[in-house]
């Protein structure tokens, strides 16, 4: 996808993005499925833009397990300064789940105004602030999901957020059921059994990753 189609460059033309990429010294890197893109237990001051492929942001637990924080599709933005600066000392991994291409920009270039003080640079800074706010909302939603006591409550809470985001009761899961189990911090088998009970109770209808709240 084109960089102008991402939220970071909303309202900025293709030509302006091209000039900024040169000014910022942006670089493009490719990753194979399963490869670690970034490990945020080390200092990293860049912002990544997923051009193609699929990434996940995960936290490594002390026992070797992983907790899914976010799944990214093309156009997704990630970076320590954007989403989890407050937990930067934890072992946060960005992992490729498919062959992926990522464009990296040093965060310092984004927030430091150049001598030309271009209007599109100001717009870029506003876009970054909006992304930080959006990330904060997503993390708040995650906290609310995890605060629920039962698997059913967690699923209904999560589905409610996804339905609200889609603007309708029917929506498509943005990740696999395995990742959904990680997201709600539940055993996958137990979660799938509960989902079956929810279908039987007339709470939801599912077809693959397509879900409808009834």
Q: What confidence tens digit (pLDDT) does each residue in 135-165 have?
A: 777 778 888 888 899 999 999 999 999 999 8
Instruction: Decide if pLDDT at 193 tops 90.
Output: yes
What distance in Å separates the CA atoms of residue 122 and residue 113, rounded to the nearest whole number?
A: 8
The pLDDT-based confidence of 116 (bands split at 50, 70, 90) is low
pLDDT at position 43 is: 52
The pLDDT-based confidence of 121 (bands split at 50, 70, 90) is confident
Q: Six-digit token pair at 167?
A: 């603007």
Q: Decide if 58 contacts 93 (C-beta within 8 A).
A: yes
Strands 27-31 and 77-78: unpaired
pTM of the model: 0.67
The pLDDT-based confidence of 8 (bands split at 50, 70, 90) is confident
Instruction: Decide if pLDDT at 17 tops 90.
Output: no
Instruction: Decide if pLDDT at 80 tops 50.
Output: yes
The residues, ordered by sequence, that sit 6+ positions from 214 with a Cβ below 8 Å of its Cβ are 169, 202, 203, 204, 205
Question: Which one has a higher pLDDT value, 160 or 70?
Answer: 160
Q: What would the pLDDT profile of 24-50 be if each residue is shown by its tens digit?
A: 788 889 999 989 888 876 555 778 888
Q: Which of 200, 201, 199, 181 is nearest to 191 (CA)?
A: 181
Residue range 67-85: mean pLDDT, rounded: 72
What distance in Å separates the CA atoms of residue 158 and residue 198, rounded to the nearest whole number?
A: 14
Distances (CA, A) of 32 to 35, 46, 143, 167: 6, 20, 31, 34
For the chain, give the number of residues.
214
The pLDDT-based confidence of 89 (bands split at 50, 70, 90) is very low
**Half-sphere exposure (Cβ direction) of 69: Cα atoms closer than 13 Å:** 22
């Amino acid at each position: 996808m084109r960089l102008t189609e991402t939220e970071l460059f909303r309202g900025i033309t293709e030509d302006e993005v091209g000039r900024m990429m040169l000014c910022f010294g942006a670089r493009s890197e490719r990753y194979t499925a399963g490869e670690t893109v970034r490990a945020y237990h080390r200092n990293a001051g860049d912002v990544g833009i997923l051009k193609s492929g699929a990434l996940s942001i995960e936290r490594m637990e002390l026992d070797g397990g992983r907790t899914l924080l976010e799944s990214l599709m093309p156009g997704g933005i990630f970076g320590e300064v954007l989403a989890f600066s407050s937990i930067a000392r934890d072992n946060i991994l960005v992992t490729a789940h498919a062959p992926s291409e990522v464009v990296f920009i040093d965060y310092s270039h984004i927030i430091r105004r150049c001598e030309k003080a271009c209007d599109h640079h100001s717009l870029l800074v506003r876009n970054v602030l909006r992304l930080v706010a959006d990330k904060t909302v997503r993390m708040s939603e995650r906290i609310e999901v995890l605060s629920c006591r039962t698997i059913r409550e967690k699923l209904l809470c999560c589905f409610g957020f996804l339905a609200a985001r889609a603007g309708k009761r029917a929506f498509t899961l943005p990740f696999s059921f395995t990742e959904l189990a990680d997201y709600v911090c539940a055993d996958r088998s137990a979660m799938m059994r509960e989902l079956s009970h929810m279908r039987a109770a007339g709470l939801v209808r599912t077809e693959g990753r397509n879900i409808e709240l009834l």
